[in-house]
Structure 1
Amino acid sequence: MTRRRGLFITLDGPSGVGKSTTVEALRRELTERGMAVRQTLEPSTSKLGIFTRENANDIHGHALACLVTADRYAHVEHEVKPPLDAGETVICDRYVASTLVLQRLDGVSLGFLLALNADVLMPDLAVILTASSGLIAKRIAERGIRHRFHRDPAAPGREVDLYAEAAQALVARNVKVLVLDTSDVPASDIASRIADALPDAPVASAISPTPTPPQGS
């Protein structure tokens, strides 16, 4: 029989754009549409992911880029591929697009980051959420600074521009990208748009019955 692999969906975007809220809304939307959904995030919840998250304000540049990507490779192997192969849809909060932005804010070149992620599993749909830099700056100010990048008042505008470049870089690598402006749009509506844009689930493998050994063998 033929087994259909689940869909891999990633959500990225500037801090304060509503990623976590949208991820949860998308999980509900897809579940209501009858899909089995697995939700995850990066950095992951593994020991490596926790170390990366806890030390991201102290480790900079190429070293942090390598840590983030190392966690990604392990995350895909242990937490993303198994449910995909079982036919589940996986939604990941932050993925390659975030690396192509945050690590560039940290002084790492786009070419280095693309090479570092060259063998990473690419999503069936990469969603990039955006909003005006003024709205993003307002949301960050309201919730408080959580990362060293937020101390730069120009960071929201730079993030918006770099995410647009990240979208182009992914499209150039044949990744389906959906860019959505979340300004004044309910998360439930954003989730519906994402669900409507999903491609058909790819065929993972053709599974043949175990052959019966010939008599007398």
Structure 2
Amino acid sequence: MTRRLPGTLVTFEGPGGVGKTTITELVTDLLKADGIAVHSTTQPSDAPLGELARHGTDTYLDMALACLCAADRHHQLTTEILPALAEGKVVLCDRYVASSVVLQQLDGVPLDVVWALNHGVYRPDLVCALNAAPAVVERRLRARGEHSRFERAAGISFREADGYRAATTFLRDQGWPVQVVDCAQDPRTTAGTIIDLIHRTLLESPACP
């Protein structure tokens, strides 16, 4: 098992269009206002590997894309996330392993292969599985604009919703602390709910002073 670090890793998961980026930004601002040291990031990362994964979904398919996403995650952990955790920061990550579990399976890669590719990643202290009615998410996604091959697929929000429900069960079975958070309300209300979960996590952490 990977040694636990002083910081706290919080990840945000959910279908495209559910509001992950907006929620991550709001939570970042609220934590900083509380005087908490925060490092906010995203996956795929802004590194060259991440840029390939982010903008290459029409070029890289199934196993190639799964390997690319996993490689970027391992690299980002080593170069960015783990150092921030070692400094005692709260790291907020927009997408993490659950996104790979869902999207790579939609791309035809078996779950056991996706999990093996991500072997050794740092387990989050809190996984926020953002949830909203698929029809609502689909409308948001089309209004926002599709960013990838996955998001252009018809009915993707419904397929992702099913995928994230299964991923939540799977990750909980692996001992990951997953909390399902309803995003049907105003984003600030959702962010407030997550802030409460983070403060509870910080109080329960053995590394918390």
Which one-letter code corresponds to 1:173 in the other structure?
Q
Matched, 1:96 2:97: yes
SS at 2:11 equivalent = strand
Where does 1:30-41 land on structure 2 (aligned, <5 Å)?
30-41=31-42
Alpha-carbon contact 2:128-2:178 (below 8 Å) kept:
yes
Paired with 1:93 and 1:87, the residues of 2 have a C-alpha distance of 19
Report the counterpart of residue 213 of structure 1 in structure 2: none
Q: Count residues in correspondence.
A: 200
Alpha-carbon contact 1:130-1:182 (below 8 Å) kept:
yes
- 1:202 Cα deviation from its structure 2 partner: 4.1
Paired with 2:50 and 2:153, the residues of 1 have a C-alpha distance of 25
Report the counterpart of residue 193 of structure 1 in structure 2: 193
Report the counterpart of residue 214 of structure 1 in structure 2: none
Alpha-carbon contact 1:13-1:163 (below 8 Å) kept:
yes
Normalised by the size of structure 2, how large is the TM-score? 0.91
SS at 2:194 equivalent = helix
Which one-letter code corresponds to 2:75 in the other structure?
A
Report the counterpart of residue 176 of structure 2 in structure 1: 175
Which one-letter code corresponds to 1:203 in the other structure?
A
Report the counterpart of residue 203 of structure 1 in structure 2: 207
Alpha-carbon contact 2:57-2:65 (below 8 Å) kept:
yes
SS at 1:111 equivalent = helix
Paired with 2:193 and 2:138, the residues of 1 have a C-alpha distance of 25
- 1:43 Cα deviation from its structure 2 partner: 0.7
Matched, 1:165 2:166: yes
Alpha-carbon contact 1:13-1:19 (below 8 Å) kept:
yes
Report the counterpart of residue 67 of structure 2 in structure 1: 66
- 1:174 Cα deviation from its structure 2 partner: 1.0
Report the counterpart of residue 48 of structure 1 in structure 2: 49
Paired with 1:126 and 1:57, the residues of 2 have a C-alpha distance of 28
SS at 1:20 equivalent = helix
- 1:144 Cα deviation from its structure 2 partner: 2.4
Alpha-carbon contact 2:55-2:148 (below 8 Å) kept:
no
Which one-letter code corresponds to 2:46 in the other structure?
T
1:96-118 deviations in whole A, cap 9, x for unaligned?
A: 01001111111111111111112
Alpha-carbon contact 1:12-1:98 (below 8 Å) kept:
yes
Alpha-carbon contact 1:128-1:179 (below 8 Å) kept:
yes
Comparing both structures, which one devotes a greater share of its residues to helix?
Answer: 2
Alpha-carbon contact 1:6-1:202 (below 8 Å) kept:
no
Paired with 1:63 and 1:44, the residues of 2 have a C-alpha distance of 17
Structure 1: tracts of 5 or more residues without a match: 205-217
SS at 1:120 equivalent = coil
Report the counterpart of residue 29 of structure 1 in structure 2: 30
SS at 2:92 equivalent = strand
Report the counterpart of residue 133 of structure 2 in structure 1: 132
C-alpha RMSD over aligned residues: 1.4
Structure 2: tracts of 5 or more residues without a match: none
SS at 2:15 equivalent = coil
Paired with 1:12 and 1:57, the residues of 2 have a C-alpha distance of 22
- 1:135 Cα deviation from its structure 2 partner: 0.7
